[in-house]
Amino acid sequence: MIEARELCKNFKDKKRGVVKAVDHVSFSCKAGEVYGLLGPNGAGKTTTLRILSTALKPTSGTAIINGTDVTVDSQKVRSQIGFLSGNTGLYGRLTAREMVAYFGNLYGMEKQTIRRRTDELFTLLDM
């Protein structure tokens, strides 16, 4: 489902010169698995996630998400993932239903489908 292949990311930093934020990282995560990426501050975890979610391009190496190469078809990858990082906020002015509808729209879902799925999920989750 998620496969990192020899991912590398170098940043050019004014003070530190070239920073090897991610240095040949490979791992794979199967469908249904929960995968933990552990490491001290600055180890490159966030940079790796940004590459997997196509927010950043790798310097070299690549990742395959559900069969699609992030460096070949980033749009297709984006249409199939949800990415919520620790500091991604919710929109304070949207209600819960508006929030879900907003993201449903971004993913190209039909209005009726959004309404039906929202009802199902909100019932299931007692929201």
Ligand X SMILES: Nc1ncnc2c1ncn2[C@@H]1O[C@H](COP(=O)(O)OP(=O)(O)O)[C@@H](O)[C@H]1O
Could you say which of 2, 8, 19, 101 contacts ligand X (CB under 6 A)? 19
Which listed range, 42-50, 67-75, 99-107, 117-125, lies at the site for ligand X (CB under 6 A)?
42-50
Which listed range, 11-19, 68-76, 89-97, 104-112, lies at the site for ligand X (CB under 6 A)?
11-19
Cβ distance to Mg ion smaller for residue 32 or 40: 40
> From the CB of residue 22, how many other CB atoms can be counted at a distance below 10 Å?
26
Q: Which residues pair with 18 in a beta bridge?
A: 12
Position 69 contacts ligand X (CB under 6 A): no
Choose the one of ligand X, Mg ion, none that binds residue 76, judging by a C-beta under 5 to 8 angstroms depending on kind: none
d(CA 74, CA 71) in angstroms, rounded, equals 6
Could you say which of 5, 6, 10, 45 contacts ligand X (CB under 6 A)? 45
Residue with tokens 């999920």: 121
CA atoms within 13 A on the CB side of 41: 0
Exposed e or buried b for every residue in 23-47, given b needs 16+ CB within 10 A?
eebeeeeeeeeeeeeeeeeeebbbb
Which listed range, 45-53, 63-71, 73-81, 117-125, lies at the site for ligand X (CB under 6 A)?
45-53
Position 5 contacts ligand X (CB under 6 A): no
